[in-house]
Amino acid sequence: MKSSPPFWSRLGQGRHVRRIGSGSPAFTALVLRGRLGPVAVINGGTHGDEYEGPTVLQELAAQIRPDRLQGTLVIIPVLHEAAFFAGTRCHPEDGSNLARVFPGNPRGNHAERVAALFLERVLRHADYYLDLHSGGTAYDLLPWSGYMLTGRAEIDAIQHRMARCFDDYWCWGSHYAPGRTLSAAAAAQVPAIYTESRGAGGVHPADRAALHRGLRHFLVAFGFVRGPTPRLKKPPVRIARHKEEAHLQLHHPAPADGLFIPAVTVGAVLARRSIIGRLHPLGPAPAVTIRAGHRGTLVCLRRQRSVRKGEALATVVALPRR
């Protein structure tokens, strides 16, 4: 159920910049208003050390002509500004993770207040939602597009279509997980997807091109701009078998604090018990060999060598063959 009209309903056709929130927290929205039509909300910077979304969304906002747009694009290049300016995944002082606190709390910690503000002022008013993520500074990923299964056949079908627009990435449908932007979208019955680009502390040219291609495909396929129907590639599609499968922070946890030295690279196809790398505790304890728990493709690998006990080192997924 949607509350009072969104702030952009009072804006005329054209390009607008609006600051949402007063003081801290707050974020900047780039609003492109075209003719009457649907509303897509697209953001980056849910985590502060992920730069693909902010980079591509700044470029997208400059490229789209509102006079050729059917509908409204609400583009938020950086959602969690405190984490972004600190260069950290989470809030630099209280450690709050914006991707784990939805629907938020207007009187809670910093991330909870950002979540509540974003949900109330922006997300619940969308017709479509896209959240652009990556591996950040700590991880290297095999890029994918994904969505959260809602149990509503119509919404899940729309989400699958949205995710498939990013056809340079493989596609991952996952089970419901609380606290996410996508779980908040699901509660508001807004079709939503996310992308995970390579990360590794920068913006890889291939990811930049893939995100632009995917966003253009989405805008055409869902009627925001005119153009020929995209002819999409057919990358692997996987539906998670259980709710923990797509929760990257649970896989191959470090058994101790120490130095992680990987032995493989992202994209490698591993047999069960294949060596992923070795963890060297900073002390007299011997090195621990980290082995794959099952056969599959390495889609996530820790690139930051310093690790704490319990931090995820790798994720292996059994991707279908192309």
Residue 276 belongs to a domain with what CATH number? 2.40.50.100
**Three-state DSSP state, 8:** helix
Note the pLDDT of residue 1: 42
**Three-state DSSP state, 142:** coil
Could you tell me the end-to-end alpha-carbon distance of the chain, in angstroms, rounded to an integer? Answer: 40
The residue from 239, 270, 303 where one domain ends is 239
* Strand-pair partners of 145: 171, 195
The residue from 239, 256, 290 where one domain ends is 239
Q: Report whether pLDDT(321) > 80.
A: no
Q: Report whether pLDDT(202) > 60.
A: yes
Q: Is the link from the previous residue into 25 a cis peptide, with omega within 30 of 0? A: yes
CA distance 121 to 117: 6
For residue 184, give both structure tokens: 């908040």
Residue 303 belongs to what domain range?
248-317
CA distance 197 to 144: 7
Q: Specify whether 169 is located in the same domain as 214.
A: yes
The residue from 239, 274, 299 where one domain ends is 239
Query: What is the mean pLDDT of the segment spanning 91-116?
Result: 96
Note the pLDDT of residue 320: 87
Chain segment 172-197, per-residue pLDDT in tens: 999 999 999 999 999 999 999 999 99
Q: What single-letter DSSP state applies at residue 100? A: G
Residue 2's pLDDT band, with cuts at 50, 70 and 90, is: very low
2 within some domain: no
Q: Specify whether 19 is located in the same domain as 129.
A: yes
Question: Cβ-count burial of 28 within 10 angstroms (0-12 exposed, 13-18 middle, 19+ buried)?
Answer: middle
Find tokens 């207040």 and name the residue. Answer: 113
* Strand pairing category for 35-43 and 144-148: unpaired
Q: Report whether pLDDT(322) > 90.
A: no
Query: What is the mean pLDDT of the segment spanning 277-290?
Result: 96
Spell out the residues 6+ positions from residue 22 whose beta carbon is closer than 8 angstroms to its own.
Answer: none
Of 244, 187, 230, nearest to 1 by C-alpha is 187
CA distance 212 to 208: 6
Q: Specify whether 214 is located in the same domain as 288.
A: no
Count structural domains, the chain.
2
Q: Specify whether 271 is located in the same domain as 186.
A: no
Residue 63 phi/psi, 5-degree rounding, is -90, -35
